[in-house]
Structure 1
Amino acid sequence: MRILQIVPSISLVYGGPSQMVVGLSEALAKAGVEVTILTTDSNGDTGQTPLDVPLNVPIAQDGYEICYFRCSPFRRYKFSLDLLKWLSRHHQDYDLAHIHALFSPVSSAAARVARSHHLPYILRPLGTLDPADLQKKRLLKTLYAAFLERPNLAGAAAIHFTSDQEAKVSERFGVVTRDLVLPLGVKLPKPAATDIRAKFGIPALRPMLLFMSRIDPKKGLDLLIPALETLIAEDQEFQFVLAGGNPQNPDYETKIRDRIRHSPLNAHTTIVGFITGGDKADLLNAADLFVLPSHYENFGIAVAEAMSVGTPVVVSDQVHIWKGIQQAEAGWINACNVSSLTDALRLALSDPHEQQRRGTNAHRYAHENFSWDAIAHQLIREYEHIAKPTLTPPEGQKEP
């Protein structure tokens, strides 16, 4: 079976939702599927240097192939005419396309090309069908959906959601879809095996509370900062580590940094910026608590990564895997308000033994539910069902 994975970019700057395509492709290849990723050389918005990669040729990597294509001059839209031309020429060589991201021009156009050539495709929305997300640039998205995404949804063989809650709340624009609910997997880089606290000047004796995600309004920092300020006023000991960036919205990142700088929280905060590789793994391992109080999150790959190394989590009930975390007693759940988050953090920080117990539960839950190998085998069964041609016997003959 030959499968295309189509995604606007797999650059690290776009975070986990894009990077997961790499982990998925490796697991599929390991299971015997021939996989080709089609993507662009986008590496951030206008002014950012594109990825330094060969273009328009397949590159072998970990058992699969990646084809990068030149991004248009308007880099923030991650559009590539060359990618679409390639898809139009080579569609017949593949059994199915798995297309990642809606409301992204290259993904929307790729779905249309696939449909015009009768290539079955699966769409993964990445949370873009959440009503809260649709409120951003609402008029533009309404028009975009009417002309592009509604026909794409209607023509898709399945819609890949990463949690039951994401599927439940997602808008379909009046289209009836076949939903496929499968979580994302976790594959962390090897630890650098350094003293990560010493490297970043994180006090050794303070409990480490880690936020590691894109610095974006939806991530709940507007709740987290005042909650932590309340705990400081109560003389609660901790060190807040803020890891992440946002090249697409640098003004908001600056606003958050300034907010902390002029707050009592400043003396209890270490800002490390965008982290990857071994340092990322070391920070996740060293943290006593991982916190992500998002206003909406279709999955929360960083949460799954933290759980995979046995770090208990504090997440909002708008992180769509929260029910599994609650049932597994792998962390603490809060409502999307400052008071509830403050209570959850106070409780979590008050008992190191309970942190350890819930961290052990988190590790077990992640191993059982976020294994790429297990997810790949489930997805292969779906691929085979979708890609298998329907055989109709000649008139007058019975099926065997």
Structure 2
Amino acid sequence: MKTLQIIPSISLIYGGPSQMVLGLAPALAKAGVEVTILTTDSNGDNGQKPLDVPLNIPIKQDGYEVIYFRCAPFRRYKFSLDLLKFLKNNAQYFDIAHIHALFSPISSAAAIVCRQQSLPYILRPLGTLDPSDLRKKEQLKQLYVALLERRNLAGASGIHFTSEQEAKISSRFGVSTKDLVIPLGVIPPENNTENIRNKFGIDNDKPVILFMSRIDPKKGLELLIPALQKLSIQGLDFHFVLAGTNPQDPIYEQKIKSEIENSQLKSHTTITGFVTGEAKISLLQTADLFVLPSYYENFGIAVAEAMVAGTPVVISDQVHIYQQVLDSESGWVGTTDVESIVRLLTTALSNLQECQRRGLNAQKYALQHFSWDAITQQVIQAYREIVVENTIF
């Protein structure tokens, strides 16, 4: 089976969506599926240099291939006419396309081309059908739906949701869809020997609270920072690590950094910026708690990464794998308000032995339920069923 994965960018600076495709592709290849990723050279939305990669030619890696296309025109929107031309000219050679992102010009246009070329496609909305997300730029999105996305949803062979909760609350704009609920996978980290405490000057006896995600208003930082300030005033000892960036909204990122710099948290906070590789693994394995009080999160890949690293999580009930966290006792779940976060963090920091127990539970659950091997089989089964349906009809 020959498959396309189409995504605006696979630069890791964009976080979870890119990371998912870079995890799925080698897992599919390992299972015998031919995978080609079509993407752009975008590497940030505010003047950053594009990825330094060959363009318009297949690059083989880990059993699959990637073809990068230059963003042109409209670099800011990760759009590429060359990608669409390639898709139009080569769609006949593939069995199915898996398109990642809605309300993204290149993804929307790719769905149209797939329909024109009779190539069945799956859409993964990345949480963009959540009513909370749809309220952002609401009028523009309503127009976008009327012109493009309603037809794209109607023409899709399947809509890939990553949790039952995401599927339950997502809007379909009156369209009947075939829903595929398949979680995301994580790669178990190897034990990392880097001493991250020494690297960032964190005392060995201080519990580490880690936020590692995109610095975005939806992530709940405007709840978390006041909660941490209250803990500090109460005399609880901890060190806070803020790891992440936001290439699409540097103004908000600077606002959050300034808020920390001008508070009592400054003396016991480390701001790392975007981290990857060994530093990322080491932070996840060193942290005593991972916290993500998001207002909405269709899955929460960062939460799953923390769990597989053996770190208990403190999350809101708007992170859509919260029920799995509760059922497996992998951490603590609260609501999207400051007092709830204060209570949960106080409970966790007051009993580090319980933190360790829940961290072990988290790792066990993630290894069983978020492994790429298991998830890949679900994806392949969905692909096969769709290909057969389209062959018959």
TM-score past 0.5 threshold: yes
The total of aligned residue pairs comes to 393
Please report how far the alpha carbon of residue 75 of structure 1 lies from its aligned counterpart in structure 2 after TM superposition. Answer: 2.0
SS in 2 for 1:48: coil
Confirm or deny that 1:171 pairs with 2:167.
no
**Residues 145-164 of structure 1 aligned to structure 2 (within 5 Å):** 145-164=145-164
Please report how far the alpha carbon of residue 199 of structure 1 lies from its aligned counterpart in structure 2 after TM superposition. Answer: 0.6
Q: Which amino acid aligns with 2:272?
A: V
Q: Which amino acid aligns with 1:54?
A: P
SS in 2 for 1:144: helix
Deviation per residue, 1:97-125 (Å, 9 max, x gap) = 00000000000000000011110000000
SS in 1 for 2:211: strand
Cα distance in 1 for partners of 2:392, 2:338 equals 60
**Alignment partner, residue 247 of structure 1:** 247
Contact 2:189-2:309 within 8 A present in 1 as well: no
* TM-score for the superposition, normalised by structure 2: 0.98
**Alignment partner, residue 379 of structure 2:** 379
SS in 1 for 2:48: coil
Contact 1:44-1:75 within 8 A present in 2 as well: no
Please report how far the alpha carbon of residue 193 of structure 1 lies from its aligned counterpart in structure 2 after TM superposition. Answer: 2.1
Please report how far the alpha carbon of residue 80 of structure 1 lies from its aligned counterpart in structure 2 after TM superposition. Answer: 0.4
CA 1:392/1:88 → structure 2, altered by over 3 Å: closer, same or farther?
closer
Q: Which amino acid aligns with 2:124?
A: R
Contact 2:36-2:66 within 8 A present in 1 as well: yes
| Superposition RMSD in Å | 1.3
**Residues 18-57 of structure 1 aligned to structure 2 (within 5 Å):** 18-57=18-57
SS in 2 for 1:388: helix
**Alignment partner, residue 397 of structure 1:** none
Cα distance in 2 for partners of 1:96, 1:6 equals 11
Contact 1:214-1:244 within 8 A present in 2 as well: yes
Q: Which amino acid aligns with 2:335?
A: A
Q: Which amino acid aligns with 1:353?
A: Q
Structure 1 unaligned residues grouped into runs of 5+ = 394-400
Please report how far the alpha carbon of residue 248 of structure 1 lies from its aligned counterpart in structure 2 after TM superposition. Answer: 1.0
Cα distance in 1 for partners of 2:188, 2:145 equals 35
Deviation per residue, 1:280-299 (Å, 9 max, x gap) = 00000000000000010101
Confirm or deny that 1:58 pairs with 2:69.
no
* TM-score for the superposition, normalised by structure 1: 0.96
Q: Which amino acid aligns with 2:248?
A: Q
**Alignment partner, residue 295 of structure 1:** 295
Confirm or deny that 1:330 pairs with 2:316.
no
Contact 1:7-1:101 within 8 A present in 2 as well: yes
Contact 2:56-2:69 within 8 A present in 1 as well: yes
SS in 1 for 2:143: helix
Please report how far the alpha carbon of residue 247 of structure 1 lies from its aligned counterpart in structure 2 after TM superposition. Answer: 1.4
Q: Which moved more, 1:353-362 or 1:188-197?
A: 188-197
Q: Which moved more, 1:146-155 or 1:14-23?
A: 14-23
**Alignment partner, residue 180 of structure 1:** 180
Structure 2 unaligned residues grouped into runs of 5+ = none
Q: Which amino acid aligns with 1:360?
A: L
CA 1:189/1:37 → structure 2, altered by over 3 Å: closer, same or farther?
farther
**Alignment partner, residue 220 of structure 2:** 220
Deviation per residue, 1:121-147 (Å, 9 max, x gap) = 000000000111111111000000111
CA 1:248/1:323 → structure 2, altered by over 3 Å: closer, same or farther?
same
CA 1:64/1:316 → structure 2, altered by over 3 Å: closer, same or farther?
same
**Residues 1-400 of structure 1 aligned to structure 2 (within 5 Å):** 1-187=1-187, 190=190, 193-389=193-389
Please report how far the alpha carbon of residue 190 of structure 1 lies from its aligned counterpart in structure 2 after TM superposition. Answer: 5.0
Please report how far the alpha carbon of residue 327 of structure 1 lies from its aligned counterpart in structure 2 after TM superposition. Answer: 0.5
Contact 2:15-2:214 within 8 A present in 1 as well: yes
Cα distance in 2 for partners of 1:391, 1:380 equals 16
